[in-house]
Amino acid sequence: MKILVFLVLLGLHSAAAGIHSLKNILTMSSQVPNSPEFVIVGMVDDVQIYHYDSNTRRLEPKQDWANRVTEDDPQFWERKTARCLDTQHLFKGYIKTLKHRFNQTGGVHIFQWMVGCEWDDETGEVNGFRQVGYDGEDFLSWDVKTNTWIAPKQQAVIIKNNWNNDKALMAYYKNDITQEFPDRLKKFVNYGRSSLMRTELPSVSLLQKTPSSPVSCFATGFYPDRAEIFWRKDGEELHENVELGEILPNHDGSFQMNVDLNLSPVTPEDWRRYECVFHLSAVKDDIITKLDKTAIQTNWGKTGFPLGAVIGVVVVLLLLVVGITGFFLWKKRNAKQPPGLGSPAPSGRWTEDGTRTRG
């Protein structure tokens, strides 16, 4: 089984300026060492705002401004914590049933549920979604237009039919997506507007470890993480002899990224034809850095390699992995769908044939 772990700060991106998203990812795991059995991560516009896991058994805010929700709803965190506990028990039954359906007796298994909505604050349009995955593959998807489940896997057909025939359950799902999630999203966007809407430009440096190493164009300190960095020659973006790194979080909440250029096929007289371009979403002007030997910082010359810019990243990543596990591998066609909070279904038990009992 192939599992890909996503970090919250590298999450899915809002579609465009003016479009906001509330994303919840709920994960139940089986036999994953050193990890909470059940985790819920909630994000607004790609920023983690709350977290729940089966070790702490508490839903807690992760941004100071997120706690403002108690101004209008003093019992918000207590009420949602109780709902998370119910969902935890429900998901335990889900993964047990799926292991039975797939004839699995042991090993690591992951059941995941993505739910949430997008809201265009200019047009007022709201789009909701729900996706269910098992062991890194699509298991069930929800059609918002027809308010019905679709089963891409044969093992999911019975479950799909039982859920679709439960009218109370489907009415619950529809209300969740059309009312509760959009209302909560609008509140959180209002509370965190100054933080969510901010933009910070990076410092950009050219780095090289040895004279024969690729030249790395390194940008750090930018926000948000909707950014691009690339090399171009004579104004045309390069796709050969370049290697793009991941966007990584800094300790202060900003981000860093790099793109390397292999100089072995480049003659010294052609250096002036190359430049590094950094583009930040919602910012009009790009940051352009010419390939200039005198501007390159190295650890073999007098300048010294600027490791200070990246110190702390490994620690941050380890903390994130410990606190936020179980993000799962969606197929590429689903990667742009943003995930929101709530029990995936009303209270009850899920039986071996996929039906739900009340109580």
* Structure confidence at residue 193 (pLDDT): 87
Picking from 17-26, 33-42, 149-158, 326-335, which range would have the lowest pLDDT averaged per residue? Answer: 326-335
CATH superfamily ID and name for 203-313: Immunoglobulins (2.60.40.10)
Q: Is the pLDDT of residue 184 over 60?
A: yes
* Structure confidence at residue 219 (pLDDT): 98
What would the two tokens of residue 88 be?
């935890």
- Residues 260, 263, 269, CA angle at the centre, nearest 5°? 130
Q: Where are the domains of the chain?
A: 8-195+318-357, 203-313
- Single pTM value for the model: 0.65
Q: How confident is the model at residue 299 (pLDDT cuts 50, 70, 90)?
A: confident
- Give kind and range of the element (H or E) at residue 131: strand 126-134
Q: Is the pLDDT of residue 27 over 80?
A: yes
Helices 167-175 and 157-164: crossing angle in degrees, nearest 10, is 80
Please state whether the peptide bond connecting residue 346 to the residue before it is cis, i.e. omega within 30 degrees of 0: no
* Structure confidence at residue 160 (pLDDT): 94
Of 351, 228, 329, which is closest to residue 279 (Cα–Cα)?
228
Q: How does the average pLDDT of the chain come out, rounded?
A: 82
With a pLDDT cut of 70, the percent of the chain lying above it is 79
* Structure confidence at residue 206 (pLDDT): 97
Alpha carbon distance 280, 223 (integer Å): 8
Contact between residue 40 and residue 24 where contact means Cβ atoms under 8 Å apart: yes
Q: Is the pLDDT of residue 161 over 80?
A: yes
Q: Please report which residue ranges of 105-205 form alpha helices under DSSP H.
A: 157-164, 167-175, 181-191, 193-196
Alpha carbon distance 345, 348 (integer Å): 8
**DSSP summary character for residue 92:** H
CATH superfamily ID and name for 8-195+318-357: MHC class I-like antigen recognition-like (3.30.500.10)
- Give kind and range of the element (H or E) at residue 315: helix 313-323
β-strand pairing of 126-134 with 109-120: antiparallel
Q: How confident is the model at residue 301 (pLDDT cuts 50, 70, 90)?
A: low
* Structure confidence at residue 311 (pLDDT): 41
